[in-house]
């Protein structure tokens, strides 16, 4: 039992490094953790007693306990444990791993998997055009697309501000993402606030940005009018039924998730190596000067001191904010370097793409991304891209997605004060060099349209 004891100790350590707020703290409080560990021990000993993998429920995310399989209704089975607490799934995964090491074979799980055939993660940071690029996948008839589901986790879980911070958040994000890719959307219920009742919620972040969540059968008729912050765009629906969403997810051939909260590619290794998944990661990057210019518009209040310093010569920008910018650039660069190095585990699973290239040739780049993902692009996707990237005179400027994208992508050069462009260049040089964003030595270069700040990087991006 020593081996397993250690494993549960690991788990406890992980949980301890994570500080939960409010409800989640109650939910995963120390007592609960002990109970979980106790349960896990019990299950492990049961499994090891029997050592009969065939009797184990194969779909750990299956939540329907009325399944005809007799093992499912067994109180002590993993499935009923899941029913007790679907958040337990995270630990279920590790348990699965333990069982596999115990002599199981992964084929069992592959044969019986109901999860989507292929998963796409659009890994980006804010203001890199990821909502726009995410639409390329949202518009596909056979892709279940989720827009920023990790938002709920960031809102609910507060991470220790000391060193464990980055690691613990990355672990939670990764584990939740893993469940989502298996269509276990129930995992989100623990993080959505207020907590869904009977799997119903009106607070699914940006539901309207996910086509499937706004179509039949997930879009149920409205029973009574009620406030819905993230309502569907083209029609009104009843509250989101997460169980229906899970079903819709399982009925689609593929799945795509856009996420701006995954910072380190290396943390995704567990997902890449998960035999139940077939993950393709697309990292989207953009010129950090353009990102800053865009953030200064979108989150104007946060950048008051930056503007005052650049335009009025007021007090310098606080050092920690500059360091944060540097940290962002560095984590993007580190991930991209790892991806481009093509370690064995990432081979064929990583693609780097620049927003600027997409803006200049959206359709061509969309086709490249689909080719990389191994999914055929459909006329519906092509039509959406054509409609939303070549703005005609009449529709100009009405919708933010409808714009002449090859005209738009360099606008930042005329809006950012040169001093701020310089700050970015100073701290982000290594990232800019890697991605082919040329430094501007003076204001004239920055604002001269005939000088390109973009190095061509043909065929360097797909691995
Ligand atoms: C559970 O399974 C039963 C029988 O297969 C089915 O009739 C029922 O609709 C399922 N319920 C859910 C919530 O999936
Ligand atoms: C578990 O088993 C006990 C006794 O066999 C039974 O009373 C109880 O209802 C079962 N619980 C569930 C959730 O099936
Ligand atoms: C499963 O076990 C392998 C080998 O010990 C380990 O490398 C991997 O990270 C484990 N995966 C999970 C999900 O714990
Ligand atoms: C979009 O902008 C580019 C660059 O200015 C221009 O060449 C192209 O003709 C424009 N397309 C449309 C449809 O306006
Ligand atoms: C812009 O750059 C081009 C090419 O270097 C140069 O010929 C031109 O004079 C510049 N225009 C301005 C207004 O500086």
Better-predicted residue by pLDDT, 202 or 52: 202
Better-predicted residue by pLDDT, 306 or 76: 306
Lowest mean pLDDT, pick from 14-18, 135-139, 210-214: 14-18
452 located within any domain: no
Ligand (nearest to CA of 269): 3
Ligand (nearest to CA of 68): 1
In this predicted structure, the answer to whether residue 141 has a pLDDT above a threshold of 50 is yes
Residue in 333, 368, 359, 331 with CA at minimum distance from that of residue 461: 368
- Looking at the DSSP bridge assignments, the partners of residue 353 are 284
Pocket probe for ligand 5: among 440, 450, 452, the residue whose CB has the most ligand atoms within 8 Å is 450
Query: pLDDT at position 193, please?
Result: 87
For residue 65, how far is its CA from the centre of ligand 1 (angstroms)? 8
In this predicted structure, the answer to whether residue 109 has a pLDDT above a threshold of 50 is no
Determine the Cα angle at 34 with ends 32 and 36, to 5°. Answer: 70
* Residue 446, CA distances (Å) to 161, 332, 335, 354, 365 in order: 38, 23, 28, 19, 26
In this predicted structure, the answer to whether residue 222 has a pLDDT above a threshold of 90 is no
CB contact at 8 A, 47 and 99: yes
DSSP three-state, residue 275: coil
Confidence grade of residue 94 (pLDDT, cut at 50, 70, 90):
low
- The string of pLDDT tens digits covering residues 152-184 is 988 877 655 544 566 778 888 999 999 999 999
76 located within any domain: yes
Ligand (nearest to CA of 360): 4
Q: Which helix (H) or strand (E) holds 95?
A: helix 89-101
Residue in 253, 249, 254, 256 with CA at minimum distance from that of residue 281: 256
Q: Please, what is the average pLDDT of the chain?
A: 76
In this predicted structure, the answer to whether residue 137 has a pLDDT above a threshold of 90 is yes
Distance CA 429, CA 437 (A): 9
36 located within any domain: no
Confidence grade of residue 96 (pLDDT, cut at 50, 70, 90):
low
Report the atom number in ligand 2 closest to the C-alpha of 84.
13
In this predicted structure, the answer to whether residue 9 has a pLDDT above a threshold of 60 is no
Confidence grade of residue 239 (pLDDT, cut at 50, 70, 90):
very high
Query: What's the number of domains the chain is made of?
Result: 1
What is the span of the domain harbouring residue 247? 47-305+344-409
Lowest mean pLDDT, pick from 77-81, 123-127, 290-294, 397-401: 77-81
Query: pLDDT at position 66, please?
Result: 28
448 located within any domain: no
329 located within any domain: no
Taking CA atoms only, the protein residue closest to ligand 2 atom 5 is 75
Distance CA 230, CA 232 (A): 7
Distance CA 261, CA 157 (A): 13
**% residues pLDDT > 70 (the chain):** 68
Better-predicted residue by pLDDT, 1 or 428: 428
Measured between alpha carbons, how far apart are the two ends of the chain, in Å?
43
* Residue 223, CA distances (Å) to 129, 210, 219, 238, 262 in order: 36, 21, 12, 6, 37
What is the mean pLDDT of the segment spanning 188-203? 92
In this predicted structure, the answer to whether residue 217 has a pLDDT above a threshold of 90 is yes
12 located within any domain: no
Query: pLDDT at position 256, please?
Result: 98
Better-predicted residue by pLDDT, 173 or 50: 173
DSSP three-state, residue 53: helix
What is the mean pLDDT of the segment spanning 4-24? 41
Query: pLDDT at position 458, please?
Result: 66
Orientation angle between helical segments 2-17 and 164-181, nearest 10 degrees: 110
Distance CA 125, CA 27 (A): 30
Taking CA atoms only, the protein residue closest to ligand 2 atom 3 is 75
For residue 27, how far is its CA from the centre of ligand 1 (angstroms)? 27
Distance CA 242, CA 260 (A): 23
DSSP three-state, residue 145: strand
200 located within any domain: yes
Query: pLDDT at position 446, please?
Result: 96
The order of strands in the sheet holding 350-354 is: 143-147, 254-259, 118-123, 279-285, 350-354
Q: Which protein residues touch ligand 3 with a CB less than 6 Å away?
A: 93-94, 97, 270
Distance CA 147, CA 209 (A): 6
Instruction: Give the global pTM.
Output: 0.70
Confidence grade of residue 213 (pLDDT, cut at 50, 70, 90):
very high
138 located within any domain: yes
CB of 393 shorter than 6 A to ligand 5: no
Taking CA atoms only, the protein residue closest to ligand 1 atom 6 is 66
Distance CA 72, CA 58 (A): 10
What is the mean pLDDT of the segment spanning 48-66? 29
CB contact at 8 A, 399 and 144: no
Better-predicted residue by pLDDT, 406 or 134: 134
Better-predicted residue by pLDDT, 51 or 415: 415
Confidence grade of residue 134 (pLDDT, cut at 50, 70, 90):
very high
CB burial readout 4-23, b (16+ within 10 A) else e:
beebbeebeebbebbbbeee
- The string of pLDDT tens digits covering residues 318-370 is 999 999 999 999 999 999 999 999 999 999 999 999 999 999 889 999 999 99
Query: pLDDT at position 49, please?
Result: 36
Query: pLDDT at position 433, please?
Result: 95
Contacts of 237 (CB under 8 A, 6+ apart): 214, 218, 219, 220, 221, 222, 231
């Amino acid at each position: 039992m020593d081996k397993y004891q250690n494993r549960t100790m690991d788990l406890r350590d992980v949980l301890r490094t994570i500080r939960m707020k409010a409800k989640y703290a109650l939910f995963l409080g120390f007592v609960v953790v002990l109970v979980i560990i106790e349960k896990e021990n019990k299950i492990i000993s049961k499994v090891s007693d029997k050592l009969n993998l065939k009797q184990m429920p194969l779909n750990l995310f299956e939540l329907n306990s009325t399944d005809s399989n007799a093992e499912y209704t067994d109180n002590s089975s993993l499935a009923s444990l899941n029913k007790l607490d679907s958040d337990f799934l995270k630990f279920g995964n590790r348990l699965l791993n333990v069982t596999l090491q115990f002599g199981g074979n992964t084929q069992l799980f592959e044969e019986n998997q109901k999860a989507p055939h292929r998963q796409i993660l659009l890994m980006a940071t804010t203001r890199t055009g990821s909502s726009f690029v995410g639409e390329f996948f949202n518009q596909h008839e056979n892709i279940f697309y989720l827009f920023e589901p990790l938002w709920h986790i960031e809102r609910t879980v507060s991470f220790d501000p000391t060193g464990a911070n980055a690691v613990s958040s990355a672990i939670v994000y990764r584990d939740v993402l893993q469940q989502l890719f298996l269509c276990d959307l129930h995992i989100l219920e623990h993080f959505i606030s207020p907590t869904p009742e009977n799997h119903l919620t009106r607070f699914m972040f940006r539901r309207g940005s996910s086509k499937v969540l706004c179509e039949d059968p997930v879009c149920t008729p409205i029973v009574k009018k009620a406030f819905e912050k993230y309502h569907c765009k083209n029609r009104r629906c009843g509250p989101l039924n997460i169980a229906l969403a899970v079903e819709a997810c399982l009925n689609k051939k593929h799945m795509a998730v856009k996420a701006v909260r995954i910072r380190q590619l290396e943390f995704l290794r567990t997902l890449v190596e998960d035999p139940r998944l077939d993950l393709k990661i697309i990292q989207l990057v953009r010129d950090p000067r353009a990102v800053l210019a865009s953030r200064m518009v979108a989150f104007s209040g946060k950048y008051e001191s930056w503007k005052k310093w650049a335009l009025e010569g007021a007090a310098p920008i606080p050092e920690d904010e500059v360091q944060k910018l540097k940290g962002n650039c560095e984590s993007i660069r580190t991930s991209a370097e790892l991806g481009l190095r093509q370690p064995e585990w990432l081979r064929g699973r990583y693609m780097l793409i620049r927003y600027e290239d997409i803006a200049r040739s959206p359709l061509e780049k969309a086709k490249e991304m689909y080719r990389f993902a191994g999914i055929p692009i459909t006329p519906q996707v092509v039509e959406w891209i054509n409609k939303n990237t070549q703005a005609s005179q009449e529709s100009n400027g009405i919708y933010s997605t409808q714009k002449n994208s090859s005209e738009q992508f360099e606008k930042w050069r005329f809006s950012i004060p040169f001093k701020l462009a310089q700050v970015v260049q100073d701290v982000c040089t290594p990232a800019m060099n890697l991605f082919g964003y040329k430094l501007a030595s003076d204001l004239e270069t920055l604002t001269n349209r005939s000088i390109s700040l973009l190095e061509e990087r043909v065929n360097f991006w797909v691995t």
